[in-house]
């Protein structure tokens, strides 16, 4: 039944054309000038993105989640993004809107899923997988597969898939509403970034990947560990890095010197 509804919805939104970057910027400027027709057009022409994100999240969710419900929630995130987008961001609207769409969908899942207490060992493994995924993404410039993460952590790929699926089904504190209408989790410090913070983080990571792409492989790895880009509690020593990449501490030191020189040249040429 739901499949037929989604097919009908997809057929309906196909009438809205895809926009060029110039058209997105033009619409954004009109929206900032309170042009509601421009706002509706920017939203309608990006509804296919909402469907794409909904399918991905529904596929990864451990519990059964209605794609149509996710589409409705994601559409609200899209509408917020359409109001906030600016050509000054220097990116396509879909890139900016994606975290807004996903955040609304995941919040919906959190509020609809019963609280599940995550076993401590599984929670630790989920955190390790998330850290590994972030590190490998920044190191290689692309999102790692379950097999990549499994190889990095030394665990079966099936275990990676199971833990990530489990993580989607857990609503943590979001499913415990307080009497005053807020969530208990709202009163606690959160590690979840807002869409704006996520956007800025992605921009920083993109610049970092671009920079690392101008370095030799060992130069990039040395700097990654030396300046704690891998998310460790502290930067690694020359000896520790040497053990990781299979060279002497002195070779690591020389590599670091070359890398810093190349970075300086990179920024001088960029000016």
pLDDT in tens, 237-262: 889 889 988 999 899 989 888 887 77
* pLDDT for position 231: 55
Q: Spell out the SS3 assignment of the chain.
A: CHHHHHHHHHHHHCCCCCCCHHHHHHHHHHHHCCCHHHHHHHHHCCHHHHHHHHHHHHHHCCCCCCHHHHHHHHHHHHHHHHHHCCHHHCCCHHHHHHHHHHHHHHHHHHHHCCCCCCCHHHHHHHHHHHHHHHHHHHHHCCCCCHHHHHHHHCCCHHHHHHHHHHHHHCCHHHHCECCCCCEHHHHCCCCCCCHHHHHHHHHHHHHHHHHHCCCCHHHHHHHHHHCCCCCCCCCCCHHHHHHHHCCCHHHHHHHHHHHHHHHHHHHHHHC
User: Where does the chain hold its CATH 1.20.120.1810 domain(s)?
Assistant: 1-114
CB 102 within 8 A of CB 74: yes
pLDDT band per the 50, 70, 90 thresholds, residue 170: very low
1-114: what CATH class?
A: mainly alpha
pLDDT at 166 over 70: no
User: Where does the chain hold its CATH 1.10.10.10 domain(s)?
Assistant: 215-270
pLDDT at 72 over 80: yes
Pick the CATH number of 215-270 from 1.10.10.10, 3.40.50.150, 3.30.830.10, 3.40.630.10: 1.10.10.10
pLDDT band per the 50, 70, 90 thresholds, residue 116: very low
Average pLDDT for residues 12-20, to the nearest whole number? 92
């Amino acid at each position: 039944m739901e499949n037929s509804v989604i097919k009908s919805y997809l057929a309906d939104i196909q009438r809205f054309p895809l926009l060029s970057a110039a058209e997105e910027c033009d619409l954004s400027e009109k929206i900032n000038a309170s042009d509601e027709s421009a706002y509706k057009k920017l939203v309608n022409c990006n509804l296919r993105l909402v469907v794409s994100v909904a399918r991905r999240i529904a596929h990864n969710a451990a519990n059964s989640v209605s794609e149509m419900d996710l589409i409705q929630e994601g559409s609200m995130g899209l509408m917020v993004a359409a109001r906030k987008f600016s050509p000054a961001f220097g990116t396509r609207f879909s890139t900016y809107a994606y975290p807004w769409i996903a955040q609304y969908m995941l919040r919906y899942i959190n509020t609809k899923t019963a609280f599940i207490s995550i076993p401590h060992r599984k929670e630790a493994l989920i955190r390790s997988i998330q850290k590994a995924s972030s590190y490998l993404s920044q190191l290689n410039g692309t999102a790692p597969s379950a097999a990549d993460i499994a190889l990095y952590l030394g665990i079966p790929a099936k275990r990676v898939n199971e833990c990530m699926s489990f993580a989607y089904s857990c609503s943590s504190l979001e499913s415990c509403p307080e009497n005053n209408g807020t969530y208990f989790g709202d009163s606690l410090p959160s590690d979840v970034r807002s869409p704006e913070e996520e956007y800025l983080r992605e921009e920083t990571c993109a610049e970092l990947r671009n920079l690392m792409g101008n370095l030799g492989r060992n130069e990039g790895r040395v700097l990654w560990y030396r300046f704690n880009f891998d998310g460790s509690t502290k930067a690694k020593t020359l000896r520790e890095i040497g053990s990781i990449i299979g060279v002497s501490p002195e070779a690591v030191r020389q590599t670091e010197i070359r890398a810093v020189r190349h970075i300086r040249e990179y920024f001088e040429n960029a000016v």
